[in-house]
Amino acid sequence: MTALQPIPYFSAILDFAAGKDTPRAFLERCLARLEQIEPAVGAFVCRDRIGARIAADGASQRWRLGRPLSPIDGMPVGIKDIIETADMPTEQGSPLFVGWRSGRDAASVAALREAGAVFLGKTVTTEFAATEPRGTRNPWDTERTPGGSSSGSAAAVACGMVPTALGTQVVGSILRPASFCGCVGFKPSVGGINRGGSYDYLSQSCTGVLSASLEDAWLVAVNIAARAGGDPGHPGLQGPPDPPSAQRPRALAVLQTAGWDVASPEARRAFEAAAGQLAKAGIAITDRHADPAIEEVEGAISDAIGLTRAINAWEGRWPLNTYRNRDRSKLSQSALERLATAEAMTQADYGDAIARRQRSREIHGRLAGCYDAAITLAAPGAAPLGLGSTGNPVFNVPASLLGIPAISLPLLSAEGLPLGLQIMGFASEDARLFALAAAIRDLLAGRQRRSENLVPGSC
Amino acid sequence: MTALQPIPYFSAILDFAAGKDTPRAFLERCLARLEQIEPAVGAFVCRDRIGARIAADGASQRWRLGRPLSPIDGMPVGIKDIIETADMPTEQGSPLFVGWRSGRDAASVAALREAGAVFLGKTVTTEFAATEPRGTRNPWDTERTPGGSSSGSAAAVACGMVPTALGTQVVGSILRPASFCGCVGFKPSVGGINRGGSYDYLSQSCTGVLSASLEDAWLVAVNIAARAGGDPGHPGLQGPPDPPSAQRPRALAVLQTAGWDVASPEARRAFEAAAGQLAKAGIAITDRHADPAIEEVEGAISDAIGLTRAINAWEGRWPLNTYRNRDRSKLSQSALERLATAEAMTQADYGDAIARRQRSREIHGRLAGCYDAAITLAAPGAAPLGLGSTGNPVFNVPASLLGIPAISLPLLSAEGLPLGLQIMGFASEDARLFALAAAIRDLLAGRQRRSENLVPGSC
């Protein structure tokens, strides 16, 4: 099948205000895509067309009266099915929770509802937002994985069924599917968006956004944070109500990460071409060979996957143990294996692991004096063939471990399929990362538009 | 009615091992108390006598074979009804959740189950562990409040229905009811005990323990932490598997807190007598008048209640907003008022509040160089008359704000009723606090035993 472009929302706002377009008409464009593509892709666990149309009509009326609740009043949104919704089940990708309803909205969903967002449905997640896939297909090639765990959110956004969807990431669950499906992925600083009611309790986990554009991602994130804040104890994502203006970076660090060794030659070339383009534009690009401080960060994140798996295992012992006690047969083999790993760990093992993580964060933080951000690939290559695995998160886990904000921009390609350029910021500087990412997009998008038959307008 | 003593568990362990006593026989002693006292006190929302007897029989068998799962294999426990249990409803003190079952155990409950604990029932909590009482009465005088929000846990432990019960504290919900009912209360360092599955999401909230003895409290806490850890991202409460041996403090700071001005003359005298006794035993006792560092801490916690209320309001906006959207009529007036406060706050207000909290923690931390711990009252006096309020938490909120461990020991009295001596430690030094508290108990208990007609054996 041929993938269709994302449908960005931000550019529609002016038309809503001018009376040239309405949220209801916007929703109908999304629903048309959904009717056309969803049967082949399977991005949604459940849909609520009637509720969405009612909500979009309310938003249309408010725009007509010049009293929208927020800039995202009327924005169609998909909600990853690990996040509670009052009006739809929350199945968590698990047979244990088929049809289960919490009767309430998660903090992020309550905030979006307050801001006027239109909920089109729950998007497919792997089991408990971990690794076991639940059948969503990549809209660019339905024989390929969309990535995970925010599989449905990425697939739905990439082909225009919604302009944005909530995702969560603790390893690579936002950036990897964004890369594989060709949309913008945003993983905030740890604690940036309130996770209340997201069944995803791990200490480096984040609620984030998959979107048709950087602007859409920012509007969703900032409008949640203003109403629901961050995780308790965190000030929450900060920044202007409008998408930050592009701000050209002066210096970027290249973080190869452990991913470089397994990246496809084509992916490497795509990244190097983009880095070369940025250098030509006058941005200083520096890698591990030229700066010992970058080399030290590379060392500190070289086992990001092993360390993250240890941390996640211990933290995920509960609730997997109580689910196993309830009905072992309804847990995947991979979930049972994670639980076994957890039960072989001690509290001291975990204490060591989070101390190592803290050290890696301190080492990375020192780069802030010399670099505006770091760049790397968002995946080792195009989405791999097959639906049995959600692909390799090796390029994504460093930002998760470091607790820093990261964005995947759909600017590269490999095998004629999307590939993300990842931009990693510094903790709590999410707004600045958006400003830098916008400048990088503006610099690179022209080149891509000329040389690739991809969908640059989506970013 | 006459209150009965708590029934400590720790001293029974040797008898279990020696075959002189069994968990089943211990449980029956608790059940006898329950039959006798529960109708007047109302400590439980629901009980599970059959399940408890089956579990106690299993534990009895394991002790007989010399293979107990842990030292608390067979320990009867009450679970505050804000904490999930797989086999009983979790009603959260709210009409919205009558009969509601999550189908899983909270992390703390799963850990206790793994360690062999016997669940006697769910104990009454105020609405969402906040201020709205749900009818439990003080076993010393049923016209008085037991305190809250861990109302049922304190009442049940104080009169021997269980040797221990889980509680939670974000303002004063463990230490105050422990003081009013006459049992040991332990609020750990923030993050010390995994709150997964406790419907109590606030950043300074803790799961803790109400117990018949210091030793019981330690065994419960350390056996949860070893299996469930702390909150994700925290190493969790650390310490020896056995209750820490008494360690006499050399220097104690007196923190009067904002409570001193509202404490009853009798309560003040009781505290001063205890402090005098400790001074006589050779412990240096220093207050705000003698040390500017203590005066600075007093200043930093002088508005602990105001600051805590602001923090809790913002953090509690969710889920109260989604509950209000579901059925406003089922929320108390006080819950609706908290929500209105939250909705009038901005993200920036909250950021300011948590920055102030962080400064107060830093100021308090500096005392660690000079003092082993701080002491103060656990309440302004005996439990007040009336069931409409759970009493004043003014002496408890500083430890909550500071995120430090604190223990209330039932060593004082006022109006012929129990009054707690509070000992406040330093962050993450929970085991040391237990050692110091044991020494203070040993020093003071003799005096109390002679001069008061209370129940010193309970501590």
Cβ–Cβ contact B114 with A under 8 A? yes
Residue B121: burial class (beta carbons within 10 Å; 0-12, 13-18, 19+): buried
Looking at B361, B379, B398, which one is the last position of a domain?
Answer: B361
Smallest CA–CA separation between A323 and chain B, in Å?
7
Residues of A in Cβ contact (< 8 Å) with B128: none
Q: Quick check: B319 and A197 CB within 8 A?
A: yes
- Spatial CA neighbour of A94 closest among A166, A199, A181: A199
Smallest CA–CA separation between A252 and chain B, in Å?
30
Residue B409 lies in a domain: no
**Chain B window 344-383: which residues touch A at a Cβ cutoff of 8 Å?**
346-347, 350-351, 354
Crossing angle of helices B430-451/B265-280, nearest 10°? 110
DSSP bridge partners of A254: A375
My answer on whether A58 and A142 are in the same domain is yes
What is the share, in percent, of chain B residues with pLDDT greater than 70?
A: 96
pLDDT (tens digit per residue) in B277-302: 999 999 999 999 999 999 999 999 99
Q: Quick check: B229 and A315 CB within 8 A?
A: yes
Cβ–Cβ contact A73 with B under 8 A? no
My answer on whether B239 and B319 are in the same domain is no
User: How high is the pLDDT of residue B445?
Assistant: 87
Residues of B in Cβ contact (< 8 Å) with A111: 318
Characterize the bridge pairing of strands A164-169 and A206-211.
antiparallel
My answer on whether B206 and B331 are in the same domain is no
Residue B456 lies in a domain: no
Smallest CA–CA separation between B319 and chain A, in Å?
7
Residues of A in Cβ contact (< 8 Å) with B326: 86, 103-104
Residue B267 lies in a domain: no
pLDDT over 70 at B1, yes or no:
no
CA distance A138 to B111: 41
Catalytic residue among B60, B108, B149, B332: B149
CA distance B130 to B120: 24
My answer on whether B130 and B217 are in the same domain is yes
Provide the residue range defining the domain that includes A376.
12-250+371-458
Nearest to A319 among B196, B238, B354 (CB): B196
Q: Quick check: A229 and B350 CB within 8 A?
A: yes
- Spatial CA neighbour of B238 closest among B433, B448, B45, B27: B433
pLDDT over 60 at B199, yes or no:
yes
Q: Quick check: B236 and A314 CB within 8 A?
A: no
How far is CA A366 from each of CA A42, A250, A324, rounded to the nearest angstrom? 43, 17, 43
**How many C-beta atoms lie closer than 10 Å to residue A168's C-beta?**
26
My answer on whether A191 and A318 are in the same domain is no
Cβ–Cβ contact A232 with B under 8 A? yes
Could you tell me the two tokens for A427? 């903790």
Residues of B in Cβ contact (< 8 Å) with A86: 322, 325-326
Looking at A360, A395, A429, which one is the last position of a domain?
Answer: A360
Residue B2 lies in a domain: no
ipTM score of the complex? 0.94
My answer on whether B158 and B233 are in the same domain is yes
CA distance B148 to B150: 5
pLDDT (tens digit per residue) in B205-256: 999 999 999 999 999 999 999 999 999 999 999 999 999 999 999 999 999 9
My answer on whether B218 and B310 are in the same domain is no
Catalytic residue among A60, A94, A108, A149: A149
Q: Quick check: A104 and B235 CB within 8 A?
A: no
My answer on whether A244 and A333 are in the same domain is no
Crossing angle of helices A23-41/A151-158, nearest 10°? 120
- The H or E element spanning position B73 is none
My answer on whether A312 and A443 are in the same domain is no
Residue A7 lies in a domain: no
Nearest to A326 among B104, B226, B322 (CB): B104
Smallest CA–CA separation between A120 and chain B, in Å?
19
Cβ–Cβ contact B276 with A under 8 A? no
Q: Quick check: A347 and B236 CB within 8 A?
A: yes
Q: Which of B318, B349, B356, B357 to mutate to test the interface with A (most CBs of A within 10 A)?
A: B318
My answer on whether A331 and A378 are in the same domain is no
Q: Quick check: B196 and A314 CB within 8 A?
A: no
Residue B189 lies in a domain: yes
User: How high is the pLDDT of residue B4?
Assistant: 78
User: How high is the pLDDT of residue B455?
Assistant: 39
Split into its structural domains, chain A has a count of 2
What 8-state DSSP symbol labels residue B428? T
Q: Quick check: B322 and A104 CB within 8 A?
A: yes
User: How high is the pLDDT of residue B15?
Assistant: 98
**Amino acid symbol at A116:** G
How far is CA B124 from each of CA A70, A144, A199, B108, B418, rounded to the nearest angstrom? 41, 52, 26, 17, 20
User: How high is the pLDDT of residue A4?
Assistant: 78
User: How high is the pLDDT of residue A414?
Assistant: 98
The gap between the terminal CA atoms of chain B, to the nearest Å, is 22
Catalytic residue among B94, B108, B151, B173: B173
Task: Show pLDDT as tens, one digit a residue, over chain A (459 residues).
Answer: 455 799 999 999 999 999 999 999 999 999 999 999 999 999 999 999 999 999 999 999 999 999 999 999 999 999 999 999 999 999 999 999 999 999 999 999 999 999 999 999 999 999 999 999 999 999 999 999 999 999 999 999 999 999 999 999 999 999 999 999 999 999 999 999 999 999 999 999 999 999 999 999 999 999 999 999 999 999 999 999 999 999 999 999 999 999 999 999 999 999 999 999 999 999 999 999 999 999 999 999 999 999 999 999 999 999 999 999 999 999 999 999 999 999 999 999 999 999 999 999 999 999 999 999 999 999 999 999 999 999 999 999 999 999 999 999 999 999 999 999 999 999 999 999 999 999 999 999 874 443 343 433 332
pLDDT (tens digit per residue) in B129-145: 999 999 999 999 999 99
Active site residue B334: no
pLDDT (tens digit per residue) in B321-339: 999 999 999 999 999 999 9
Q: Quick check: B114 and A354 CB within 8 A?
A: no
3-state SS assignment for residue B150? coil
CA distance A19 to A22: 7
3-state SS assignment for residue B23? helix
User: How high is the pLDDT of residue A449?
Assistant: 42
Looking at B200, B219, B248, which one is the last position of a domain?
Answer: B248
How far is CA A103 from each of CA A99, A228, B326, B402, rounded to the nearest angstrom? 12, 18, 8, 34
CATH of the domain at A170: 3.90.1300.10
Residue A188 lies in a domain: yes
Summarize the confidence of residues B4-29 as an average pLDDT.
Answer: 97
My answer on whether B335 and B231 are in the same domain is no
Cβ–Cβ contact B430 with A under 8 A? no
Residues of B in Cβ contact (< 8 Å) with A228: 317-318
Cβ–Cβ contact B329 with A under 8 A? no
Active site residue B149: yes
Residue A279 lies in a domain: no
Residues of A in Cβ contact (< 8 Å) with B106: 318
Q: Quick check: A322 and B201 CB within 8 A?
A: no
Smallest CA–CA separation between A59 and chain B, in Å?
19
Q: Quick check: B110 and A202 CB within 8 A?
A: no
Active site residue A173: yes
My answer on whether B228 and B329 are in the same domain is no
